[in-house]
Structure 1
Amino acid sequence: MSFSDLGLAPALVSALTDAGFSEPTPVQARAIPLALEGHDLMVSSQTGSGKTAAFMLPALHKQVQASPLRTPGVRVLVLTPTRELAQQVTDATRTYGKALNWLRTATVVGGMPYGAQLKALSRRVDVLVATPGRLLDHVQSRKVDLSEVEVLVLDEADRMLDMGFIDDIEAIVARTPQSRQTLLFSATLDGSVARMAAKMMRDPQRIEIASQKEKHVNITQSLLYADDMGHKMRLLDHLLRDVNIQQAIVFTSTKRAADDLADTLADQGFAAAALHGDMNQRQRTRTLGQMQRGQVQILVATDVAARGIDVQGISHVVNFDLPMQAEDYVHRIGRTGRAGRDGLAFTLAVHGERHKIRNIERYTDQSIPVQVVPGLEPQRAPRPGADRPRRGGPGSKPGWRPGGRGGYQSRDSGNRPEGRGRFERDPDSRPVFGDRPRGERQYGDRTQGERSYQDRAPRERAYGAGDRSDRARTDRPYAERPWGDRPRAAQGDAERRERPTQAWNERPRTGRAEGERRDAPVRRFDSRRRAA
């Protein structure tokens, strides 16, 4: 089957032939005829299967068949989750529509200056490729008219939902006409994707060419265990010094780790560069251009690059950090082995991450074989249950692990003689404090029963000689009551007791006669200045 058999316009078929596309892929062969008939589509296909052409070719065909006398406005709107994917779709659109000299394409993504985008939107735009956040800004400022949209494409819809674009997508879709054709492409077609499709699609046709869980038969996957970060760095150095390596992508979990690892590899002599979301669009475009031209051999990236990078020369993918979601693992390793080529995917993990490996294996329905590099074997074997996440409480402290029935036991409790309970003490061991007889408890060099009243310090007999019970504290004269070691001044106390008590209004006013009013003298500003 060829592209001409699908019913595409001759101009599009000629452009595909010039670009080297001989025959359609399975997803293109099934999606293009249904899209040309005007159906809404929900498509799930494996990454790298040619889905960009599956939605862009029928959209361009509709533009070729349309009347040239029509009102200006965006006709094809493509929403993507990342800037890299938007740029990839734009490049593919220009390749497919190379013979259509009148076709105008614009890209609206975050991280780029508003001025250039406003200039592009001020002219006629036939195909608009955008990320939801930046497009909504232009829509709300009335810089984009979506009332003439004929084809709406949601590319990587599940990824856009994961990134929190659901509100932006609904606001954008509300500005498009109800008569539009909607094409949705996603890794999964269930859950939140299905609920969103039910709101904005009319009787969609469901196409599942290849699930994301399908085995990558042309990608050799390997799992390497490491003891610590130093061991992981030595394994990475061994992998990147393979003579058969062409270009590689090393995935990290954070942006800072991507920058640090790229700097480390550059210091070791590798042509390495970082790619993550904190870089502006100009930097990211320049890095991807260097990667496509072969100037960068090792690209250290976060998951933002897992979708949308289409570099044919990538032969190795290394998961330096495990992904947060199991499906991201599929998108990561899908950066290699594209267009029928073979690829290698390596995953580095510590023993405590075995539960994440099992989640990936359950999601992909296949096991990842463990590989051991001679001379870099892990020195510590995984303990049984070490991959289980620890619960909170005392069992999560270092040196302790949960025991049975709510108790906790030390790591060396495995040396307990067989048959003895967890809290049963060895009868031959030294008795603890609570097991001693009361008379044997020592206080310094004396037993507790031998400590008499005469042995106490003088300060402890502050109430006088003799037993305290013979004389109560309140029965002694006031002068005999001590305050520390010094007696109180009885004379001062007597004077305070004999002082008459007067109300506040009975006290005489000193310096004034009865009824005399004391007024403050009036001081003028100039008199104060002269006095100063």
Structure 2
Amino acid sequence: MSLEKLKLSKQLVASMTDAGFLTPKEIQAKTMSRILGGQDVIAVGPEGSGKTTTYVLATLMKLKYAFEEAPRALILVPDAEHVAHVLEQFKLLNRNSTFRILGIDSTGSIENQMNEVTDGVDIIVAVPDRARALYLKLALNTNKIQLFIVDNAELIVKKGLQLPVVELANSAYKSQHVVFTEVLHDKLNHMISPFMKDSSVTIEVDELGAGDAEVYPQMLYNVPNFRTKLNLLTVLLNDTETFDKVIIFVNTRLTAQTVYKNFNHINAQEIGIYKPLFFDDAGFDSLDEFMENPDSRILIAANENFTEADLKGIPFIFHFELPEQKETLIQRIIKRDETEDAIAINFSTDIELAEVKKIEQAIGQKMQVMDLPEDLKIVDAAAKPKKKKGEEDEEQSDRGAAFHEKKASNTKNYNYSAGTKAKMTYKKKKGLS
């Protein structure tokens, strides 16, 4: 498909060609005509799929002439780094400097930014909280905005900037709204639903990488919050027959201690922390020490101090939290020996789904999304019920179920596929677990 198919002006086609873009990306081919046609669009695609270039081109095409008294396009991005990146893309493609483009982040003087906005600007690229501050100070006039764009929406939600986005979008109620994101989840839908038109369309592009190395099977449990993760871990590890040698990765040593204390240590030798933070917590100084102990089946390790590269012999690798660098996880799941097999089980909240997408893109395959156990207690993070005096803490009573006698109601009801069960059985027969 040629660039001309995007129905861009000759000037923009020339700018794209000069910049090295010879053919359109899939997300550009699928969304450009809808954006130029005035439809509200939610575009979902991985990092590097061409989302920024898409809306930069659309903005330059839709704003037919320059120099009006108020901005006609407002682009909201998560932080100063993204502001700089978008400005660079405009500089690359707006060759004749047809439009006055202003970048606004939280580091600059608000007084200077007020003066720059009121002096006249066509396109504003801003972080949501500072744009809202300028709007409340009456410096940012949203009455003439034709195109309201939210980029990296999943990061904006992660930073807790939903309120200024919604306020600004509602103030620019006459505009067309376009949202770009790597993932779409409930929290993000909650942010954009107040201003997206009923006629809006969602377009998803899923570009997986080639996957340079063979990796262990990946499973994904999507849960609402940290406390539900703890409950899920308890329910799964209640199956001592299957999960008889497990390593659980978290991000910090403090979190490792939290997960450790979540269990009721009926058998203290069953569980330990890798190089624990506190001397009174049961632990191991090395992975070999854990592997050689026949009574120990669960090791909790923090990414911040876990340096051992070889997980050979551990059939189940849990990522209770996804590491900050995707490469950390990928190195653990690469299959280095044809005789070895393992399964990686990953927990993710909505906020972490963007990291899941990056991992999937890097390894070239999707994670298998698992059904949550029927008896899993989903915790409402906002609810804090009062306890009567002498009443047992219900949350505390849920803890430690991994070391209680198993109940028929929560035994293996997490719906592993036939292939997964076969792999587990194979490991048992081969003595790998």
Output the TM-score relative to the length of structure 1: 0.45
Matches within 5 A, 1:210-249: 210-211=205-206, 216-218=209-211, 220=213, 228=274, 236=307
Cα deviations across residues 129-182 of structure 1 (Å, max 9, x unaligned)? 112111111111122222211110112334433433332222212322x33111
Query: Which residue of the other structure, out of 88, 91, 108, is the alignment partner of 1:91?
Result: 88
Matches within 5 A, 1:139-288: 139-176=135-172, 178-189=173-184, 191-194=186-189, 196-211=191-206, 216-218=209-211, 220=213, 228=274, 236=307
Matches within 5 A, 1:120-519: 120-176=116-172, 178-189=173-184, 191-194=186-189, 196-211=191-206, 216-218=209-211, 220=213, 228=274, 236=307, 317-319=327-329, 325=349, 328=352, 330-331=354-355, 334=358, 361-363=367-369, 392=396, 396=400, 401-403=403-405
Looking at structure 1, the residues matched to 359 and 82 of structure 2 have their Cα atoms a distance apart, in angstroms, of 13
Looking at structure 2, the residues matched to 394 and 16 of structure 1 have their Cα atoms a distance apart, in angstroms, of 58
Give yes or no for the alignment of 1:72 onto 2:40.
no
Q: Does the CA contact (< 8 Å) of 1:152 and 1:182 recur in 2?
A: yes
Aligned-residue CA RMSD in angstroms?
Answer: 4.2
Looking at structure 2, the residues matched to 103 and 236 of structure 1 have their Cα atoms a distance apart, in angstroms, of 51
Q: Does the CA contact (< 8 Å) of 1:80 and 1:86 recur in 2?
A: yes
**Residue in 2 aligned with 1:17?**
17
Structure 1 SS opposite 2:327: strand
Q: Does the CA contact (< 8 Å) of 1:42 and 1:205 recur in 2?
A: yes
User: Do the aligned partners of residues 96 and 394 (structure 1) sit closer, same or farther apart at CA in structure 2, a change above 3 Å counting?
Assistant: closer
User: Do the aligned partners of residues 100 and 235 (structure 1) sit closer, same or farther apart at CA in structure 2, a change above 3 Å counting?
Assistant: same
Higher relative contact order (CA 8 A, sep 6+): 2
Structure 1 SS opposite 2:16: helix
The offset of 1:28, in angstroms, is: 0.3
Cα deviations across residues 429-487 of structure 1 (Å, max 9, x unaligned)? xxxxxxxxxxxxxxxxxxxxxxxxxxxxxxxxxxxxxxxxxxxxxxxxxxxxxxxxxxx
Larger Cα-atom Rg: 1
**Residue in 2 aligned with 1:41?**
41
The offset of 1:187, in angstroms, is: 3.8
Looking at structure 1, the residues matched to 157 and 13 of structure 2 have their Cα atoms a distance apart, in angstroms, of 34
Q: Does the CA contact (< 8 Å) of 1:326 and 1:363 recur in 2?
A: no
The amino acid of 1:80's aligned partner reads V
Unaligned runs of 5+ in 2: 217-245, 250-272, 276-284, 287-302, 311-320, 333-345, 372-393, 408-433
Looking at structure 2, the residues matched to 76 and 364 of structure 1 have their Cα atoms a distance apart, in angstroms, of 41
The amino acid of 2:396's aligned partner reads G
Looking at structure 1, the residues matched to 71 and 124 of structure 2 have their Cα atoms a distance apart, in angstroms, of 7
Looking at structure 2, the residues matched to 216 and 130 of structure 1 have their Cα atoms a distance apart, in angstroms, of 31
**Residue in 2 aligned with 1:60?**
60
Looking at structure 1, the residues matched to 16 and 87 of structure 2 have their Cα atoms a distance apart, in angstroms, of 15
The amino acid of 2:11's aligned partner reads A
Q: Does the CA contact (< 8 Å) of 2:151 and 2:180 recur in 1?
A: yes
Looking at structure 2, the residues matched to 328 and 28 of structure 1 have their Cα atoms a distance apart, in angstroms, of 26
Structure 2 SS opposite 1:317: helix
The offset of 1:201, in angstroms, is: 2.9
Structure 1 SS opposite 2:90: helix
User: Do the aligned partners of residues 330 and 395 (structure 1) sit closer, same or farther apart at CA in structure 2, a change above 3 Å counting?
Assistant: closer
Unaligned runs of 5+ in 1: 240-252, 255-301, 307-315, 338-342, 346-359, 366-389, 406-532
Looking at structure 2, the residues matched to 202 and 79 of structure 1 have their Cα atoms a distance apart, in angstroms, of 18
Q: Does the CA contact (< 8 Å) of 1:107 and 1:117 recur in 2?
A: no
The amino acid of 1:328's aligned partner reads E
Structure 1 SS opposite 2:194: helix
Looking at structure 1, the residues matched to 118 and 163 of structure 2 have their Cα atoms a distance apart, in angstroms, of 26
Cα deviations across residues 46-78 of structure 1 (Å, max 9, x unaligned)? 232111122221111122x23x5x632111111
The amino acid of 2:327's aligned partner reads V
The offset of 1:183, in angstroms, is: 0.9
Structure 1 SS opposite 2:42: strand
The amino acid of 1:392's aligned partner reads Q
Q: Does the CA contact (< 8 Å) of 1:2 and 1:24 recur in 2?
A: yes
Looking at structure 2, the residues matched to 102 and 79 of structure 1 have their Cα atoms a distance apart, in angstroms, of 21
Looking at structure 2, the residues matched to 190 and 344 of structure 1 have their Cα atoms a distance apart, in angstroms, of 22
The amino acid of 1:117's aligned partner reads Q
The offset of 1:195, in angstroms, is: 5.1
User: Do the aligned partners of residues 210 and 6 (structure 1) sit closer, same or farther apart at CA in structure 2, a change above 3 Å counting?
Assistant: closer
Looking at structure 1, the residues matched to 304 and 117 of structure 2 have their Cα atoms a distance apart, in angstroms, of 47
The offset of 1:88, in angstroms, is: 1.9
Looking at structure 1, the residues matched to 405 and 369 of structure 2 have their Cα atoms a distance apart, in angstroms, of 32
Output the TM-score relative to the length of structure 2: 0.54
**Residue in 1 aligned with 2:300?**
none
Q: Percent identity?
A: 18
User: Do the aligned partners of residues 153 and 233 (structure 1) sit closer, same or farther apart at CA in structure 2, a change above 3 Å counting?
Assistant: closer
The offset of 1:344, in angstroms, is: 6.8
User: Do the aligned partners of residues 332 and 72 (structure 1) sit closer, same or farther apart at CA in structure 2, a change above 3 Å counting?
Assistant: farther
Q: Does the CA contact (< 8 Å) of 1:109 and 1:130 recur in 2?
A: yes
Structure 2 SS opposite 1:334: helix
User: Do the aligned partners of residues 198 and 21 (structure 1) sit closer, same or farther apart at CA in structure 2, a change above 3 Å counting?
Assistant: same
